């Protein structure tokens, strides 16, 4: 666990220093998604409906921010 935590902190600081602020901020929204899937894969956990709802909401939030705006001409 310590090595994984060190790697993740190192990767986050690399992203935060090299990527634009908007991309670095969006990457923090993926933390709950990674956490749920890691729990399923590593610990064999089965999320309840609030976990799935959270995944859907985070995915919709990311899609809303990343989807290009339409020209209204």
Q: For residue 2, how far is the Cα from the chain centroid?
A: 21
- What is the per-residue pLDDT for 73? 62
3-state class (DSSP) for residue 2:
helix
pTM reported for the whole predicted model: 0.59
- The candidate with the shortest Cα–Cα distance to 32, out of 10, 7, 50, 17, is 50
- What is the per-residue pLDDT for 6? 87
- 3-49 pLDDT, tens digit per residue, is 888 888 888 788 778 878 777 777 778 877 888 888 889 999 898 99
DSSP letter for each residue of 5-72: HHHHHHHHHHHHHHS-HHHHHHHHTTHHHHHHHHHHHHS-----HHHHHHHHHHHHHHHHHHSPPPP-
Q: Is the pLDDT of residue 55 over 80?
A: yes
- What is the per-residue pLDDT for 12? 79
What does the domain layout of the chain look like in residue ranges?
2-66
Q: Is the pLDDT of residue 56 over 80?
A: yes
């Amino acid at each position: 666990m310590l090595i994984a935590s060190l790697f993740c902190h190192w990767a986050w600081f690399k992203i935060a220093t090299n990527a634009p602020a908007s991309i670095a901020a969006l990457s923090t929204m993926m933390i709950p998604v990674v956490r749920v899937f890691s729990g399923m894969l590593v610990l064999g956990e089965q999320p309840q409906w609030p976990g799935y709802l959270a995944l859907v909401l985070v995915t919709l939030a990311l899609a809303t921010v990343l989807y290009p705006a339409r020209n209204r001409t």
